[in-house]
Structure 1
Amino acid sequence: MAEGTDTPTAILSHASAALRESPFDDVSYRALGDAVGVSERTVYRHFPTRSHLLEGVADWIETTAFPLPPFVTIPEFREAARSRFAAFDASPAFAFVCARAASISPTGETEPTYFTRALVAMLATNYPSLNERDLRRIAATLRYFASAQFWARMRTGFEMSSPDIADVFERSVSQALAVVTTTGAVADRATGRASA
C-alpha cells in the first residue's frame, strides 16, 4: 500500500485498476486484499457487500475519471455534460460501472452529492422564485439526464455515440426547463395549475 494512502482508498484504487482487465463481477475480494497488502477480511470490513464495493468504486471512478467540470450557469452545465458524455465514450467500461452502481439501492450516506448541490444552487440562482420541492424535482431530472445511467441507456438501447446522446440530453434539458415559467413557477402538468 502506498505511503499516506488509507486502506479504503487503496482498495478502491486497485478495484478500478482491475476493471481495465476484468469485469466488475470477476474482481475478487481476495485479489483486492493481496494487491493492497491486507487480508480479504479487511476488504470485507470496509465493503461488506458487493453493492458496497460497487458503489464505492463508482464514486471513485466518478471523482477520478469523470470529474464534472465546474458550472454556475445553465449553458455551463450543458457544456459540462457534453464533455462528460465524451469522457464516457472514451472509457465505456468505467462508465458502465457507474451506470450499474446508479441502479442499485444506495448503501452509503443519504447526503446529497456535490453534483446535486451544484445543480440546486444553479437552479436557485437562475430561478430564484422556485420553491424547494420544485428545485429538487428539476435538479433530479437534470442530474439523471447528465448521468452515466442515461448515457448507458442511450448507448446500449439506441446505439448512440456521445454527440447523439448530447443532442438528446439538450432536448431533454430544454423540455425540463420549459416547465419553469418566466415567473419561476413550475406548471403542474396533472392539474394545469402552477406551483409557486
Structure 2
Amino acid sequence: MADAADTPTAILASVAAALRESPFDDITYRSLGDAVGVSERTIYRHYPTRSHLLEGVAGWIESTQFPLPPFVTIRQFENAARARFVAFDASPAFAFVCARAASISPTAEPEPTFFTRALVAMLATNHPSLNDRDLRRVAAALRYFASAPFWARMRTGFEMSAPEIADVFERTVAQVLGDLIASTPVDMDGPSQQSRR
C-alpha cells in the first residue's frame, strides 16, 4: 500500500496514466484504487467527488506536463505560452482535461496561483503606474489567453494548430497591452492633461 503522504500524488499519477487509454469519465474510483493499491474508500477520502478528482489531476498535469518556464518580460511570457501551446498539441488528451477542469467551479480555496502572481509581478515591473485593480484585470486576461481553455477553443472551434494559436495569442497580448498603455496616463512633468481638466 502507498505511503499516506504519497497517496494523493499516486492517485493523480494513476489517473494521468489511465487517461492515455480512456476518457476521464470512464475512469472509476475502483480501478484507481486497484492501480494504486488502496481501497476505493481511500480514493473517496482524498477526492470526494469527480470534480475534486478532475481539478486535482488537472493541476498535477499542468505542473508535470505543461510547466510554464519563469518569465520576467512580456517577450519571455509570450515565448513560454508559445511553448505551452506546442506541448498542448503534443498531448491533447491531457490539455483537454485541463481545459475541462478550468470550466468547473473550483473545489479548493480561492488563492492566486503562482502563475497569476508571476503575471501580476511582471506587469507591476513593466507598467509601474498601473493600479492594483488594473493589474489584476490585465493579469486575468493574459492568464486566460495562455490557458488550456483558450487553446481548446481555438483548436476545436477554429481547427488551429499550436503556431496559429500562438500567433492569435501574441496579437491579443499586443492589443491588451496596447490598450493598457494607451489608457495609462504618463506622468512626465506632473499631472496628465486629462487630470488637469
- TM-score calculated relative to the size of structure 2: 0.91
> In structure 1, how many angstroms separate the alpha carbons of the residues matched to 2:164 and 2:77?
17
**What SS class does the counterpart of residue 181 from structure 1 fall into?**
helix
Structure 1 residues 109-134: Cα deviation after superposition (integer angstroms, max 9, x where no partner):
21111100000000000001111100
Per the alignment, residue 188 of structure 1 pairs with none
Q: Which runs of 4+ in 1 moved over 2 A?
A: 1-5, 181-185
Q: Which moved more, 1:175-184 or 1:33-42?
A: 175-184
Q: Does 1:129 align with 2:133?
A: no
Shift of 1:180: 1.6
Q: How does 1:28-67 map to 2 (within 5 A)?
A: 28-67=28-67
Aligned length, in residue pairs:
188
**What SS class does the counterpart of residue 129 from structure 1 fall into?**
coil
Q: How does 1:46-195 map to 2 (within 5 A)?
A: 46-181=46-181, 184-185=184-185
**What SS class does the counterpart of residue 44 from structure 2 fall into?**
helix
Per the alignment, residue 21 of structure 1 pairs with 21
> In structure 1, how many angstroms separate the alpha carbons of the residues matched to 2:163 and 2:37?
42
Shift of 1:96: 0.2
Which AA in structure 2 matches 1:22? S
Does structure 2 retain, via aligned residues, the 8 Å contact 1:128–1:184? no
Which has a greater percent of helix? 2
> In structure 2, how many angstroms separate the alpha carbons of the residues matched to 1:2 and 1:91?
28
Does structure 2 retain, via aligned residues, the 8 Å contact 1:155–1:161? yes
Question: Unaligned 5+ residue runs, structure 1?
Answer: 186-192
Does structure 1 retain, via aligned residues, the 8 Å contact 2:96–2:148? yes
- TM-score calculated relative to the size of structure 1: 0.91
> In structure 2, how many angstroms separate the alpha carbons of the residues matched to 1:34 and 1:111?
33
Which AA in structure 2 matches 1:130? L
The Cα RMSD (Å) is 1.9
> In structure 2, how many angstroms separate the alpha carbons of the residues matched to 1:158 and 1:16?
27
